[in-house]
Structure formats: C-alpha cells, structure tokens
Amino acid sequence: MKTKAVRLYGENDLRLEEFELPAIKDEEILAHVISDSICMSSYKATIQGSRHKRVPENLSDQPVIIGHEFCGEILEVGARWKDRFSPGQRFSIQPAVNFAANMDGMGAPGYSYPYLGGDATHVVIANEFMERNCLLPYDGDAFYMGSLAEPMSCIVGTFHAHYHTEKYRYEHKMGIVKDGKMAILAGVGPMGLGAIDYAIHNPELRPSLLVVTDIDQARLRRAASILTVEEARRNGVELHYVNTADLADPVAHLKQLSGGEGYDDVMVFAPVSAVFEQGDQILGNDGCLNFFAGPSDPALTGRMNLYDIHYASHHIVGTSGGNTDDMIESLELMADGTINPSAMITHIGGLNAVVETTQNLPNIPGGKKLIYTNKNIELTAIDDFAASGEQDPFLAALAEITARHNGLWSTEAEKYLLDNAPSI
C-alpha cells in the first residue's frame, strides 16, 4: 500500500512525499492514521536531525516519519495478533516503547521508524508495540482525543509522580495531597490547561484549593472562560486565576491565598528560573514541586531554599512523558467524558501543512496544532475561522460549529471536517 508522509532526511530537512509501504509481516499491523497533534519535540528532532538522541544516524539513506501523537484505525492484522486486534478497531499509541520495553536502539515513532509515525496516511506498526502493550484500543468518538492522549498522559504522570512523606517514616506516599493546596505556575498554555482540567475532574485525587498563574491576561481570560471557577466549585475545588505580572509581591499574594501556609503541590509549566524559584518560595511544609517544563538549555539552573529542604521537608521532582498506565487512564477519562482537553487545540491543518508548521513551531502562537493527515488544509487558527470563512464556505461552517462549542474544537467539528475537507 502507498502512503503519503512527512519524512525527516537530515537537520531541518523535512519532505512530504508518497512511497510504498512494505507488506506487513505476521507480527505487524497495517493502520490508517486519521489525526496527529504536532509536538514541540518534533521541532527539536527536526532542527537536530541525527544529533537528536532518538533519531538514527543514517537519515539520508533511511529517513523517518515524524509525529508521535496520533490516532487512527487498524486496517490489517498480522497472524500473530489476530486474537487481540481486528480491522476497523480504533487505536492510539504509547510512543515511549523504549521505556516500556527497556530497549536500546529504536527510540519512538516520530523519531526512529521509517514506516511508523503520526504524520502519514498509512503506517506499519512494529511488533514491539503490541508486545509491550503500547498499541492501545480507543473507544472514543473523536480521533483528535486519541491524539491528545499522549500529551494528556504526560500530565497524568506528573500528578502521579508527586510524593509526600511523614516525619521519621521513610516512605513516599505517591500522588498529590487529597483535598490539599495546589498551585500551577505559568499554567494557561496548552499543557497547563490539561493540568487544570485533570485537577478539577480527577475522580480520585483533587485539591481543595487550586491557584493558576500566568503573565498573559488574554490567555488567563481564555482559560477562565473554558475551565471556570463555577465548574471547579461544583467539583469541590476553589479555583483562582492570578496574573502575577500585576503584583508588586507575587509570592506574598500567592501565600496569602493559601492561608499563609504555602502549597502542598506546585507545578511549574515554564522553563524559566524565576518561575521555578517562585514555586520554591510558596511551598508549604512537606511541599512537592514538579518542574514539568522541559528546558532546551542543558545549563539551566534555579535556586532552592536549602534550609527549607532540611527543616520543612521540601522536595522536587521532574517528569518527562507518561507511562502506558497514564496513557490508558487518559484514554478512558476522555472516552467517558470526565476530561475534555479540547482547549489544548488552537490550530487545524492537513498533511500539506506539516513541514512548514513543524519547522516554524516556536514562532506560531497558541496551543496544539492538530493535523488531519488525509486532508489538504492550510494551517488555520480556530479563532480565524470566521474571518477566513468570508471567502471559504468550509471554514465558515467550521466557525459556526466551533462557536457553538465555546470556541473549541469538538467531535462535531471533526466529523464535518472529515466529511467535507479536500483530500490530500
């Protein structure tokens, strides 16, 4: 079968091309990709090429398909896996197969495989993904939710990685404090919105107080209109949005909101030393700080109060990615409507838009860029649908649909796009 895909040939050398896939072996699966969400990690792999730790050295001879946040349908199942998977089944994928399998060598789809990646119409799923339970059945209505399962699993993993202790008992109690006090700093970007959603709607552990900060008032307003104070209150969470740029003493204000005690759990969503240090200063006794944001500078440092580490039991963790259990939890919570990470998505495009979008990702404002891999659509911000729709009836219809869903992408919007957008 032929596929159309975006492949990486070297540093900043991405090409959209059509080529033949090999016939699947008994231990492989042929799949149809429907959606892929472009991640900043794809940009990093693109600009680094073979210097990236997950990208093979022989790119010029054996290019790899990029994209690792994808969802689709199974077309053909090799003999070995016919008892577990079937044609027509929807799937998402845990890309960190190397972590699940403790493997060396091949890193992940989107970095390491010549016939497996998210920015393609059709792919061959390698045996190790089934062996390590990284090919995950998905029962939701919308493909884009399956694409968001990977970034959402990173958030779920962050909540699970927090830990707390009791004095003189050398055991870590994993997870955030139930009914505790939580702060999410620089928290209204796409991943921060997912964290707010999960904190409010987590069926097991929710904080009683959640304070979310940022310095961009427009983004704060958007977050507050989607994940409202009223919705949080209905779930037993007191939610505050705070613009720290407006405050003479942000630390004092944030501590005052906590009742002067500080926070049990703090998450930092920007790779900025000052934000990290602010998080350290608002920790309460036995407080746990998670430096979620992945810095590109290997020499980035930040100060912590060593006195409080010793006497107030402050501790720090960092998380990168989620494991397979986190991914399964994300898929289940999205499928049953407990969480809705649609707010992460700000742009829609087709496979034709992947090369330019990936190469310029840091310069494109907003959140997640969602790609429908079988379609030919210029990358367009959801906020621009109405204006662009004055000349394009297709975008005008999408503008009407998203307006009915509080400006968010939705199952209805996806169905309309899949039925009406031009094929690539």
Topology at the third CATH level for domain 155-317: Rossmann fold (3.40.50)
H/E run at residue 310: helix 306-311
As a whole number, the mean pLDDT across the chain is 94
Once rounded to an integer, what is the mean pLDDT over residues 100-123?
80
- DSSP bridge partners of 87: none
- pLDDT for the residue 319: 87
Q: 380: phi > 0 → left, psi -120 to 50 → alpha, else beta; which?
A: beta
Residues carrying CATH 3.40.50.720, the chain: 155-317
> What length does the chain have?
424
Residues carrying CATH 3.90.180.10, the chain: 2-137
C-alpha–C-alpha distance, residues 377 and 371, integer Å: 9
Instruction: Note whether 405 and 413 are within 8 A (CB).
Output: yes
Portion of the chain with pLDDT greater than 90, in percent: 86
- pLDDT for the residue 167: 85
- pLDDT for the residue 292: 93
C-alpha–C-alpha distance, residues 32 and 72, integer Å: 6
Half-sphere exposure of 362 (CA within 13 A, CB side): 6
Pairing of strands 163-166, 169-174: antiparallel
- pLDDT for the residue 101: 41
Confidence of residue 100 (pLDDT cuts 50, 70, 90): very low
Q: Which tokens belong to 373?
A: 């891999």
Topology at the third CATH level for domain 2-137: Quinone Oxidoreductase; Chain A, domain 1 (3.90.180)
- Tracing tokens 């970034």 back to the chain, one arrives at 151
Q: Which tokens belong to 77?
A: 């199942």
- pLDDT for the residue 298: 83
- pLDDT for the residue 293: 87
Q: Render 4-43 in DSSP notation, one character per residue.
A: EEEEEEETTEEEEEEEEPPPPPTT-EEEEEEEEEE-HHHH
Q: pTM of the prediction?
A: 0.89
- Tracing tokens 């289940």 back to the chain, one arrives at 332
Q: Positive or negative CA dihedral for 395, 400, 405, 407?
A: positive
Instruction: Note whether 331 and 179 are within 8 A (CB).
Output: no
Instruction: Note whether 222 and 188 are within 8 A (CB).
Output: yes
Confidence of residue 123 (pLDDT cuts 50, 70, 90): very high
- pLDDT for the residue 102: 40
Non-local CB neighbours of 341 within 8 Å, separated by 6+ positions? 145, 148, 151, 152, 193, 194, 197, 334
Once rounded to an integer, what is the mean pLDDT over residues 300-326?
92
- pLDDT for the residue 99: 52
C-alpha–C-alpha distance, residues 1 and 225, integer Å: 45
- pLDDT for the residue 98: 66
Instruction: Note whether 231 and 206 are within 8 A (CB).
Output: no
